[in-house]
Structure 1
């Protein structure tokens, strides 16, 4: 479905509740919109009714936070059923979730927690991705996380784990460049080393967002808050990616301290400018 996007539709923004009515009324010039899937599970809700109106005019991407793919728990069948109903109705250009876990014995946490990167965790995660793709009847995208701690017994780095997930399941990758930049600072690795380990042809979507620096007595940590404009180093990572691999459908994420819609559209314009500058003669090669 991502290949159906035209050159003018390559950059989108996250559809957040403060902007829904404005999007419906004004139909701003934006390529596509991403929703958080779980907010639209109820078919009779006002949110779902509004989404139907929006989907009449914009391609939609369904981005989830609740599958808990890395958990030892079995997949929540009711969650899968609701997701499939949404996907079947909206026919999104992409469906995605995270390289993370968030449940134990059916109890869910309000966070996307990091995995130990072991063979056991890899087998479990791949099995879950295979189940999701089979149930939905389509390719699924996995997003790299931001993280603030690591496990001593991890047997491989995150980028190798993610690459193995993609190779084994043939899922797509949702490449969050801000997450890589944040995690690289927190854990002391090289962003370029991470990016070089991934198959660029598997990257079907890119996320760009802002982060927050937290200062403590013994140092600082960077938090993926999605509450600020995209930082210049992340823009540079994006430009570098486009130079090396071509254009990929790109999203501006902003989930906290949400500004006016015009601010998000201005960030999207920056991404569009980079795409036009860094692709030969303005030609876009779709994934």
Structure 2
């Protein structure tokens, strides 16, 4: 591994082609853009033409959804080769993936599925991350998942699992605050307790997104991580709690479904930037105790 994650400590958004013209016309730029790796694994065409223009102007985060880091089977070598070509082509400031699995043999599932937290899965995830970081020649960030169930086989807490993976591999962590809130509420846990035990010194990027509130088959509340709505007030409060402890960390607004217009999306990024800027501001002498 030779290149560490190095996004600017400001806010960014996920790039949507429908916003391309508005982005180029924007008087006030955003901090960085994120793209999903699998959308840019072709050789050319409009996606690459647009991304090339953005790359000339902005920092870039590449976010993978298809490596299946948590699978007990070997990584797909062809997929990894295509990912390396993409990262070599655009030299992003950051690359990240999920603590999840999404494939079985040659079948790719349109979801990020959870895994039990055991010594066996810990070793396998660490092996996969070592393989990815060696192939790419860069640090990978590992994102905490949104979960809806607990595995009876799990013997390690999620926070301890992520901490140990990061220690073994040198990977950074991507803290998705909405995922923390969704998982905690679904499992009857406290999101603040989770965050206060999280290894924040290993966090290189934060994600914020929206979720839906539904009910399960027995009428109990169920939160779904949908990325299709504004960030909830409770998630903003958790984010502010984290930033008060860490100082500014690169922060991405995720909005992938029911995507709004550019100005609405950018307003979410501005709200996050206000929290970042407040954390980095040194109080005037008259404000100090």
- Please tell me the TM-score bracket, short chain as reference: over 0.9
The TM-score normalised by the length of structure 1 is 0.93
**Residue 276 and residue 25 in structure 1: after superposition, are their counterparts in 2 closer, same or farther (change >3 A)?**
closer
In the alignment, the residues of structure 2 paired with residue 204 and residue 120 of structure 1 have an alpha-carbon distance, to the nearest angstrom, of 26
Query: Pairwise mapping of residues 1-287 of structure 1 onto structure 2 (< 5 A)?
Result: 2-3=5-6, 5=8, 10-26=10-26, 29-216=29-216, 217-281=218-282
Match of 1:285 in 2: none
1:227–1:257 contact (8 Å) kept in structure 2 = yes
2:13–2:32 contact (8 Å) kept in structure 1 = yes
In the alignment, the residues of structure 2 paired with residue 127 and residue 201 of structure 1 have an alpha-carbon distance, to the nearest angstrom, of 22
Shift of 1:23: 2.3
2:210–2:230 contact (8 Å) kept in structure 1 = yes
Greater Cα offset, 117-126 or 210-219: 210-219
Unaligned 5+ runs, structure 2 = 284-289
1:41–1:48 contact (8 Å) kept in structure 2 = no
Shift of 1:11: 0.5
1:73–1:103 contact (8 Å) kept in structure 2 = no
Q: 1:12-33: CA deviations, max 9, x gaps?
A: 0110232134324547510100
1:70–1:101 contact (8 Å) kept in structure 2 = yes
In the alignment, the residues of structure 1 paired with residue 82 and residue 95 of structure 2 have an alpha-carbon distance, to the nearest angstrom, of 13
In the alignment, the residues of structure 1 paired with residue 52 and residue 100 of structure 2 have an alpha-carbon distance, to the nearest angstrom, of 30
In the alignment, the residues of structure 1 paired with residue 69 and residue 256 of structure 2 have an alpha-carbon distance, to the nearest angstrom, of 22
Shift of 1:73: 1.8
2:177–2:206 contact (8 Å) kept in structure 1 = yes
Shift of 1:195: 1.9
2:248–2:277 contact (8 Å) kept in structure 1 = no
2:7–2:94 contact (8 Å) kept in structure 1 = no
The TM-score normalised by the length of structure 2 is 0.92
